[in-house]
Amino acid sequence: MSPRPLTDTPAARIPRLKPWLRRLRRRFALYNLAGWLNPVFDLWVGGRQRQVFYDIDHDAPALRQLDAAFPEILSTFERVMGHLERLPAYHTLDHDVIYSSGRAQRDARWGVFMITCFGHKPKAATTLCPDLIARLEAIPGLYQAFFSVLEPGKSIPAHVGPSRVYLRYHLGLQVPTEATPTLRVKDQTYRWKTGESILFDDSWDHEIENHCPKMRAILIVDVQRPLPWPLTWIAWVQRKTAALHYARRIVAAADRLIPSS
């Protein structure tokens, strides 16, 4: 019997399997499993005809409390940035977002400071952001909140959020007026403005094109979209599951990467 070719050994096959294993991991990650119930939510939210941008006053009026507190939130963000020389890249907290955070333009980063995640809070956030945490916890249906920083020239490729169950709020904190980055959601485009907020469905395909020579910083908050019963019950189960598994992993990574004092 002739010996097996060296190129057909288990060790040699591993590199060929890596792309397939990476796709399998991405498909069945908890981040994506949340989307398996999207067809159920689509019965209420409209499926392919659902909205792209939403009216904050109508759909999540409690978020206006954050608009009103913009000066204090900006001060909190500046305190965080004064404490940290550089925020960790998003995919170092959550590997499930490696495609949108770390596969392109690896010399620049999408930096994230997690404030609260499904009721769990990193130690650094409780130290640096206690007042902001109190404001956030007063918002009904809160999922998570974090400061999001794009370094100069860092774009984010097209991707989709996992679930229809939440809407995403952006509040511009530091937005340069020169070559301001653009956010495209489905077929609509938005340019951030300092002190201005938006609410959108990030389960639509969306991307950020950024040629700005300065840092862009915003506050991101995810809140449950308005839903009828029994969809609110399904959303509650999803939220509890995320708190037990996803949030603990994210907060543990934040505590490892970000000093709390």
pLDDT digits (tens, 9 = 90+) for 148-157: 999 999 999 9
Torsion sign, CA atoms 177, 191, 170, 95: negative
Work out the angle between the directed axes of helices 231-244 and 246-257 (0-180°, nearest 10). Answer: 40
Of 208, 119, 127, whose CA–CA distance to 170 is shortest?
Answer: 208
The two structure tokens encoding residue 180? 């301001």
pLDDT score at 2: 55
Of 167, 182, 172, 224, whose CA–CA distance to 52 is shortest?
Answer: 167
pLDDT score at 35: 74
Of 80, 65, 188, 59, whose CA–CA distance to 130 is shortest?
Answer: 80
Residues 159 and 185: beta-carbon distance below 8 Å: no
pLDDT score at 36: 81
Map residue 147 onto helix, strand or coil. Answer: strand
pLDDT tens, the chain, 261 aa long: 555 555 555 555 556 665 654 444 444 444 556 678 899 999 999 999 999 999 999 999 999 999 999 999 999 999 999 988 889 999 999 888 877 876 777 677 899 999 999 999 999 999 999 999 999 999 999 999 999 999 999 999 999 998 999 999 999 999 999 899 999 999 999 999 999 999 999 999 999 999 999 999 999 999 999 999 999 999 999 999 999 889 999 999 999 998 876
Of 181, 162, 179, 178, whose CA–CA distance to 170 is shortest?
Answer: 181
Rounded Cα distance, 182 and 247, in Å: 29
Position 54, amino acid: Y
Rounded Cα distance, 133 and 139, in Å: 10
Residue that the structure tokens 């010399």 belong to: 107
pLDDT score at 72: 98
The two structure tokens encoding residue 90? 């998003």
Of 113, 127, 138, 126, whose CA–CA distance to 250 is shortest?
Answer: 113
* Per-residue pLDDT tens digits for 62-100: 999 999 999 999 999 999 999 888 899 999 998 888 778
The two structure tokens encoding residue 207? 């991307």
Cα dihedral 13→26→23→27 (10° resolution) = 120
pLDDT score at 27: 46
- Domains of the chain by start residue, with CATH: 9-257 (2.60.120.330)
Rounded Cα distance, 137 and 119, in Å: 8
Rounded Cα distance, 253 and 103, in Å: 20
The two structure tokens encoding residue 146? 């974090």
